[in-house]
Amino acid sequence: MKTILAGAALAAVAVAIPVASDAAQIHGSGSATKAAPTALASVNMEAVLKAAQIDPRRADDTLTPGAKSSVLAVEQALQAKGLLDKKWVDGYFGTTTVKAYTEFQKSIGYKGLAANGVPGKSSLAKLGDKRFTVNHALTPGARVTFRGATVNTRTKAMLVKTEQLLGRKLVLEQGSYNPGGDPTSAGTHDGGGVVDISVKGLDAKGKNTLVRTLRTVGFAAWSRTPSQGDWPFHVHAAAINDPDLSSQAQHQTGDYYLGKNGLANGAKDDGPKVNPIQTWEEFQRQS
């Protein structure tokens, strides 16, 4: 068992990575024939992102469904660069693989949030050069202001859809990319994809509907109460598969998949069940 880390708007996009193929000559007939280039492995970025959030939070080595072959290709590339020991090349994106990917990000000049151990479109393409292609690629997009708070364009699109489904506007109490802005948030808002939403004027049913709708479009969301921490009543939401999630927010999205409440106590999820749990991209494809 590995050591465990204590942490659908866009159409699928295939990213082709150039590859120089070897050529072989066949002798005997006096003519030379070039051998067909060896097909590269294909990495599903959505699946890898999901595994990078869930696997480090597991209490065992269960693999994230649908992610094994893609994670293996990433781990093999990390091994080839001397960043990951062979024994960890197993299709499980656990703590050791997260650390190795962080080191790779740093090796290509990434710092801070960009070196969070979660594969982004750019770093994944660089890692896969001449080794694999990337499909189902996604990006968080540029930082924008929405309802007075800073979010990225992917998160904005998710919130806009939430408003459409609810038939009303949301009031954001805290946005993303807010390092140190609220100590009670424990770093979850340091990166992208995370918002706190006001529940003023909502009864228990209204709060439940808000959480369910956020979960439907791809957020890990919970209704928070003062009894859980030093904060007022609000809804906390983290966008699953956002490459800009802080480590703490990654832990929350992983915990959500595993039926937990996203808090330090690791208690059982107390929110409305949405089946299946899906990302923004998955939601869009089935809508």
**d(C-alpha 92, C-alpha 245), whole Å:** 20
**d(C-alpha 28, C-alpha 109), whole Å:** 50
Architecture of domain 143-286: 2-Layer Sandwich (3.30)
Encode pLDDT of 218-253 as tens digits.
999 999 999 998 899 999 999 999 999 999 999 999
Q: Per-residue confidence at 83, pLDDT binned at 50, 70, 90?
A: very high
In the prediction, which pLDDT does 183 show?
Answer: 79
Closest by CA to 192, choosing from 231, 157, 163, 224, is 157
Domain limits, the chain:
1-137, 143-286
Encode pLDDT of 99-115 as tens digits.
999 999 999 999 988 89
- H-state helical runs in 152-203: 153-166
In the prediction, which pLDDT does 180 show?
Answer: 80
Encode pLDDT of 24-81 as tens digits.
333 344 445 566 667 899 999 999 999 999 999 999 999 999 999 999 999 999 999 9
Helix (H, G, I), strand (E, B) or coil at 132: strand
Query: Phi and psi at residue 176, in whole multiples of 5°?
Result: -105, 175
Q: Read off the tokens for 170.
A: 């949301």
Q: Which residue has the tokens 């090796």?
A: 107
Q: What angle do CA 232, 238, 244 make, to 5 degrees?
A: 130
Q: Which residue has the tokens 């994670």?
A: 71
Q: Which residue has the tokens 């904005």?
A: 156
